[in-house]
Amino acid sequence: MNAEEALTFAARRLSGRYEVDEFGYDAELTDKVVLELLRPLYRHWFRVETVGLHHLPPDGALVVANHSGTVPVDALMLQVALHDEAGRAIRLLGADLVHRLPVLGHLSRKTGHTLACKEDADRLLRKGELVGVFPEGFKGIGKPWDQRYRLQRFGRGGFVASAIRAGVPIVPCSIVGAEEIYPKLGDLPVLARLLGLPYLPITPLFPWFGPLGLVPLPSKWLIEFGEPIRADEIDPEEADDPMVVFELTDQVRETIQRSLNALRLRRGPAFFL
Amino acid sequence: MSPVTRTILVTGISRHIGARLASVLAADPAVSRVIGVDTVPPASPTRDGGAQLSPLDRVEFVRVDLRSPDIAQVIAAADIDTVVHMSLMSGPARSRSAMKEHNVIGTMQLLAACQRSETVRRVVVRSTTAVYGSSPTDPAVFTEDSEPVEVPHTGYGKDASEVEGYVRGYARRRPDVVTTTLRFANFIGPRVDSPLTRYFLSPILPTVLGFDPRLQFVHEDDGVELLRRVALDDHPGVFNVAGEGVLLLSQCLRRAGRLWLPVPAPAFRFLGEGARALGRMDFTPDQLALMSHGRVVDSSKVTHELGWAPKFTTASAFDDFLQTRGGR
């Protein structure tokens, strides 16, 4: 942005004359400010590399990824990856905890995220959006260090039913590297409950080093998009059939686990030991 | 088939939208009589600066307290065939209990009268999207069949939910009558006076710290036009009504160019109560929820049913309000 563009940008923002969609997604703020701030982390800190971007269908799809790292940095890096390397805006489905919080909840909406619920998923997919979901939820992101790269249970498979209903393919996505950013060695359950958090981690740096402990470790990341799983070829009526949904959920989970294992080998050590 | 001559009863005629609707209906050649009822007489059109409004002189005004059974006599005496119930109050009445009584008991009396009537064959009720409540764990966009996570348990939203409950009961008992419920987003426009318009016209606007709710508006012109259409034709069902698109509160404030002051939620409530004491605004807990979490509805069903969409988007309705009222 040159000075003149920056001025018109600032003037437009200050006059309130910009578009926000019905979910509260502010594309301009996301592209020009939020992703701009995340990019150094993406490029220089985690040195993220992407694999298999050609697997992304041109229209709507559901990207299903593993979740890890204690703090959902992986979701943000996935968003930068798809924006920068594929020119796609991904609409992430997040936990209601985030949406309850002041500041963060509304920033999350402005960045295009919404609540992980059936209605919002269906609505976004119907509009042909690229939607991202982390079915492991807190079980995945908050798992202890010794469980790293072991996929947790994939909820109730609601995401699969949504994809079938909307007639879109599922793109399995494996993220390697996020596991090492805040190795969760322990937990402070009493304090966590007091603060209303699902967990309060003990990492090698937190809470010992105070705010310094919040700096993520500079692990090397790889994000792989796998071959689409054809949920769009299933009759939408079958979204209500639990057997179909469970089977497809298992298939997605196994695909991601396999690709995680391979991708981890390919990356080698997380910190260039 | 519906008879050519129509006699329409409009409740809540002393307030702006009700008065506008009544005069538009009275000017329609297909309508033979419009009877307007309210607890107080409508403001005279001249004092209201009503040059642009068609005068209310073709509307017969009857002063009726809806909470009393008198309304049944009005309906029986005039062979009313269409009832448009507009008198749901969102604003500060003398007290919360007076407001609730007006809204809920008033609707019960009115529907009781309609149920006994042989002539009433269409009932239109003005409701509000406040029936969906406002919480961070609701879906981003409400459709007519959404069940809110937190049912509104205070104020306007609760009244409206109860009113809708009575309307559903009435529709069950009188399946021969066409009932239409319109859930409007917040009305806005050059002449709307509501807690929200008063809020936007305050010198300093308190906002809830850390929250930037999504809001939707309906322009008063669109509201009147839609009500006119459903009053003259059969469109049974429940419909959301909102101008296309959304505005964040922060966008509204920037467009209005007013000063705002983010305060923590408890302080916001406290300020609201202070403002209420001064008679300026009415910040009830449901208003606080709206100002924190916002509310967005899908109004494609009404567009599909009527083949008509609001002319004003949420943003253009808000701009029109600012141009005429914002003093800038």
| Among the listed residues A134, A145, A270, the one whose alpha carbon sits nearest the alpha carbon of residue A201 | A145
Inter-chain touch A110–B140, beta carbons under 8 Å: no
Instruction: Select from A18, A103, A114 the Cβ nearest to the Cβ of B210.
Output: A103
| Among the listed residues B303, B167, B144, B152, the one whose alpha carbon sits nearest the alpha carbon of residue B238 | B144
Q: For residue A117, report the phi and psi dihedrals to the nearest 5 degrees.
A: -140, 160
For the cut 90, the answer to whether the pLDDT of residue B89 exceeds it is no
- Distance from C-alpha of B221 to C-alpha of B241, rounded to nearest angstrom: 13
Selected residue of A22, A96, A124 to mutate for chain B interface (largest B Cβ count, 10 A): A22
Instruction: Select from A14, A24, A100 the Cβ nearest to the Cβ of B248.
Output: A24
Per-residue pLDDT tens digits for B60-82: 999 998 888 899 999 999 999 99
Percent share of chain B, pLDDT over 70:
90
For the cut 60, the answer to whether the pLDDT of residue B51 exceeds it is no
Query: Is ipTM > 0.85 here?
Result: yes
Kindly report which listed range (A94-98, B219-223, B311-315) carries the lowest average pLDDT score: A94-98
Mean pLDDT in residue range A9-33:
95
- Which residues, in sequence order, are CB contacts of B94 under 8 Å at separation 6+? none
Amino acid, res. B233: D
**Strand A201-202 to A130-133 pairing:** unpaired
Selected residue of B254, B292, B313, B321 to mutate for chain A interface (largest A Cβ count, 10 A): B254
Distance from CA of A244 to the nearest CA of B (A): 26
Mean pLDDT in residue range A127-146:
95
pLDDT at B46: 41
Distance from CA of A127 to the nearest CA of B (A): 13
Per-residue pLDDT tens digits for A159-176: 999 999 999 999 999 999
| Among the listed residues A271, A164, A172, the one whose alpha carbon sits nearest the alpha carbon of residue A226 | A172
Interface residue B211 vs chain A (CB under 8 A) = yes
Mean pLDDT in residue range B171-175:
96
Mean pLDDT in residue range A117-139:
96
- Distance from C-alpha of B206 to C-alpha of B269, rounded to nearest angstrom: 10
- Distance from C-alpha of A208 to C-alpha of A86, rounded to nearest angstrom: 39
pLDDT at B47: 41
pLDDT at B94: 65
pLDDT at B40: 87
Nearest-10 crossing angle of helices B155-173, B285-293:
100
Selected residue of B150, B207, B209, B214 to mutate for chain A interface (largest A Cβ count, 10 A): B214
Inter-chain touch B251–A22, beta carbons under 8 Å: no
pLDDT at B49: 42
Please identify which residue in the block is written with the tokens 């001025």. A7
pLDDT at B53: 45
Hey, what are B33's tokens? 């009589």
Q: For residue A186, report the phi and psi dihedrals to the nearest 5 degrees.
A: -155, -170
pLDDT at A64: 98
DSSP assignment of A104-165? HHHHHHHTT-EE-SHHHHHHHHHTT-EEEE-TTTHHHHT--GGGTT-----TTSHHHHHHHH
- Cβ burial of B305 (10 Å; 0-12, 13-18, 19+) is middle
Q: How confident is the model at residue A207 (pLDDT cuts 50, 70, 90)?
A: confident
Selected residue of B137, B247, B291, B314 to mutate for chain A interface (largest A Cβ count, 10 A): B137
Mean pLDDT in residue range B41-59:
58
Asked if omega into B206 is within 30° of 0 (cis), the reply is no
| Among the listed residues B187, B202, B210, the one whose alpha carbon sits nearest the alpha carbon of residue B17 | B187
- Distance from C-alpha of B88 to C-alpha of B57, rounded to nearest angstrom: 24
pLDDT at A89: 97
- Distance from C-alpha of B141 to C-alpha of A96, rounded to nearest angstrom: 15
Mean pLDDT in residue range B299-325:
96
289-328 of B, contacting A, C-beta below 8 A: 294, 296, 298
Hey, what are A183's tokens? 């190795």
Average pLDDT, chain B: 88
Instruction: Select from B137, B211, B255 the Cβ nearest to the Cβ of A106.
Output: B211
Distance from CA of B252 to the nearest CA of A (A): 7
Question: Which residues of A are less than 8 Å from B137 in CB distance?
Answer: 96, 99-100, 115
Average pLDDT, chain A: 94
Inter-chain touch B251–A16, beta carbons under 8 Å: yes
pLDDT at A171: 98
Inter-chain touch B212–A114, beta carbons under 8 Å: no
Per-residue pLDDT tens digits for B139-149: 999 999 988 77
For the cut 80, the answer to whether the pLDDT of residue B106 exceeds it is yes
For the cut 60, the answer to whether the pLDDT of residue B298 exceeds it is yes
Cα torsion angle, A196, A201, A206, A211, sign: negative
Find the residue in A nearest to B252 (Cα).
A16
Instruction: Select from B140, B252, B253 the Cβ nearest to the Cβ of A120.
Output: B140
Q: How confident is the model at residue B327 (pLDDT cuts 50, 70, 90)?
A: low
Hey, what are B110's tokens? 């009115």
**Strand B204-208 to B237-241 pairing:** unpaired
Inter-chain touch B140–A114, beta carbons under 8 Å: yes
- Cβ burial of A108 (10 Å; 0-12, 13-18, 19+) is buried
Eight-class DSSP state of B194: -
- Distance from C-alpha of A127 to C-alpha of A62, rounded to nearest angstrom: 12
Distance from CA of A129 to the nearest CA of B (A): 15
Amino acid, res. B215: L
- Distance from C-alpha of A201 to C-alpha of A211, rounded to nearest angstrom: 14
Domain ranges of chain B: 7-325
pLDDT at B1: 44
List the domains of chain A with CATH numbers.
19-181+216-265 (3.40.1130.10)
Hey, what are B118's tokens? 């042989």
For the cut 60, the answer to whether the pLDDT of residue B204 exceeds it is yes
For the cut 70, the answer to whether the pLDDT of residue B280 exceeds it is no
- Which residues, in sequence order, are CB contacts of B87 under 8 Å at separation 6+? B11, B12, B15, B18, B38, B66, B102, B103, B106
Kindly report which listed range (A4-18, A28-42, A200-214, B119-133) carries the lowest average pLDDT score: A200-214
Hey, what are B130's tokens? 């406040």
User: What fold does the segment set B7-325 form as a domain?
Assistant: Rossmann fold (3.40.50)
Contact B148, A117 (CB under 8 A): no
Inter-chain touch A99–B137, beta carbons under 8 Å: yes
Counting DSSP H helices and E strands in chain B, the numbers are: 12, 13
Instruction: Select from A15, A20, A120 the Cβ nearest to the Cβ of B248.
Output: A20
Mean pLDDT in residue range B94-123:
90
Interface residue B139 vs chain A (CB under 8 A) = yes
**Bigger pLDDT: B89 or A98?**
A98
Distance from CA of B208 to the nearest CA of A (A): 9
Percent share of chain B, pLDDT over 90:
62
Instruction: Select from B140, B210, B254 the Cβ nearest to the Cβ of A15.
Output: B254
Mean pLDDT in residue range B2-31:
88
Question: Which residues of A are less than 8 Å from B143 in CB distance?
Answer: 119
Question: Which residues of A are less than 8 Å from B185 in CB distance?
Answer: none
Distance from CA of B136 to the nearest CA of A (A): 5
Mean pLDDT in residue range A42-62:
97
For the cut 90, the answer to whether the pLDDT of residue B155 exceeds it is no
Instruction: Select from B137, B212, B251 the Cβ nearest to the Cβ of A106.
Output: B212
Distance from CA of B201 to the nearest CA of A (A): 17
DSSP, collapsed to helix, strand or coil, labels residue A255 as: helix
